Structure 1
Amino acid sequence: MTLKLRSVGASDRGLIRSGNQDAHHAGSWLVAVADGMGGMAAGDLASTIAIEAVGPLDLETPEDALVAALQSGIDLATRRIRQAVDEDSDRRGMGTTLTALLFARTGSCLALAHIGDSRAYLFREGVLKQITRDDTFVQMLVEQGVITADQASSHPRRAVVTQALQGDEVSPTYATMVPWAGDRWLLCSDGLSNVVRPDTLAEVLAGHPDRTECAGTLIDLALRAGGPDNVTVVVADVVDEA
């Protein structure tokens, strides 16, 4: 059995924002989503820098080098964002989330890197699981038992991230997993996860085997829910091409 990754990405500025500060990559070995912050021009630049820094990782990588490769990509993004801020003081405070998944050349392993509140979900055998943990103020309150997960979804400070790529030293989360044939991954910005419930995400992932159609349906659902933010999705399937 030879497992491969097949992916499709889609993005929309939403119905409220004047521009799109999200960026994404949907490749054969790498998928990633970045959600910029810090003002229109700066947020757009930060997310673009992050995706351009990790984009070259979209190639065959040994499984024992996956995490190191993602670390090098994030280090490069950090340096480039710091340089961009140094070049223009108006960019101070700009940053971006980054959630990236890198598939090993053998198909036997994958690695995930995450910082911020974009998310990675795994849909496996009919069950949807959020793999990433939001680096947000409200997630911290949930874990402390101060508020519930439902309350977090409407909390006035739900957009406050506690970590992002901003040119400073950060501590992204890294993890490795064993892929299964039939796995479906969803990477998305909070423009989707903030307005579409997990059970609805699961229904769409289960009901639309065509990746392009699935991604388009998810975007449409976010727009129907008001489209208050930019919305970006990457749908990636683990397939057996033996």
Structure 2
Amino acid sequence: MQVLVFAFFTLSAVLGLVQAQTAGTTTTTWDCCEPACGYTSNLSPGATGPVKSCNQNNGAASSGAQNACFSSGGDLAFSCSTYQPIIVNGTLSYGFAGHGNTATASCCKCYKFTWTSGAASGKSMIVQAINAGGITDNDFDIYTPGGGVGDYNACTAQYGAPSGGWGRQYGGVSSDAECSQLPSNLQAGCHWRWQWAGGDVNTWQITYNQVNCPSQLTSISGCTPAGI
């Protein structure tokens, strides 16, 4: 009887882990704006940061710099080129993403998702949330050069990009060959989408859960969330 009880609780625990997975989708973005998590007031409870922002040349932005998507001229803050995806191996990548509509609910937290559709089905990614707002709570807007500027565009100010960004305003470039339109320091992240993930990535289905952040991500962002 004790064995049966143990087996029951073990099975229940496994089922609980399965149920903890949440379904969502992925999209791509690269608007060059200062991330929302670059503001200390937006950090999730217990996080230490904020997320780093950069000047036009990808050096550290000054403390008084204004978000380049909402200001012009003078001292501006942009996204850093280091927020591109990082290939770990053939089935795992690290990266950064926008997640959720409320910054304080997600800023600096890390999540692991696995694609369940699209060319990357079965592959996984661990991302740190560095942006929020205008994104559903179940979706991840992966920071991908050439991934589309979306509603705001600071890439023209930072890199001289077309007024609507490279490629489509929402979704970005449509092929690996179009990555050649981007500045050389952003092309590796653009190629990641086509060469590692295998396609457009937008609207591909995932399951995900929150995880502790790898040091490789927090060392880039400068933000560490509370442990889970």
The answer, yes or no, to whether TM exceeds 0.5 is no
Larger Rg: 2
User: What's the TM-score once normalised by structure 1's chain length?
Assistant: 0.24
By percentage of residues, which structure has more helix? 1
User: What's the TM-score once normalised by structure 2's chain length?
Assistant: 0.25
By percentage of residues, which structure has more strand? 1
